[in-house]
Amino acid sequence: MLKQIYFEQEDVVALARDLLGKKIITFFNNQKTSGIISETEAYRAPEDRGSHAFNNRKTPRTEVMFRSGGCAYIYLCYGIHHLTNIVTGPEGTAHAILIRAIIPYEGKEIMEKRRGKPASFKELTSGPGGVSIALGLTKEMSGISILGPNLWLEEHLVYEDREILITPRIGLDYAGIDASNLWRFVVKSTPSSKKKFKTY
């Protein structure tokens, strides 16, 4: 299991890359599900216009982001999708990493039921909203520890640089110059890497 000191590192962009290949596990109501993280995006406060904590903006929703690294920031996007982020950095830093896709590992049948999709659906756990549904995570759980017992991360795979795509983040037109930051990391062999985004 990854320890809190791992999540308290200050370089959120490097951490977003390093999270690829880590296993994310949930355990709710005696149901265990897990997947290998295959796509992430970094959000670096306070200067990042794409971050909910830009200029150290603190609200009842974003308060979680200012805690010490090692908890989850989960919010509702467009009133539909629950998006799961991992809070990183020292207390007060407000960095976060969005988990955009995972490769199903354990509890695939549970994921199918939660999503209402068959295992053959190639995007069962592709897209941040789908990830949260598959893992049973909702905005009501925002602030939950990622050090267990219900949510945690473990070492699993190590991807080499040649296996990784690096691109700008998605859907951040409002972020101005920060929309072009190369802070999205994708494992090439996964469905999400096949989408037509400019890579570098």
Second-level CATH architecture of 4-194:
Roll (3.10)
Rounded to 5 degrees, φ, ψ at 194 are -85, -10
109 contacts 118 by C-beta, under 8 angstroms: no
- Tens place of pLDDT per residue across the chain (200 aa): 999 999 999 999 999 999 999 999 999 999 999 999 999 999 999 999 999 999 999 999 999 999 999 999 999 987 788 999 999 999 999 999 999 999 999 999 999 999 998 877 878 999 999 999 999 999 999 999 999 999 999 999 999 999 999 999 998 988 989 999 999 999 998 876 655 544 43
Which residues are CB-contacts of 75 (< 8 A; sequence separation ≥ 6)? Answer: 52, 61, 82, 83, 85, 139, 142
Boundaries of every domain in the chain:
4-194
pTM over cut 0.75 = yes
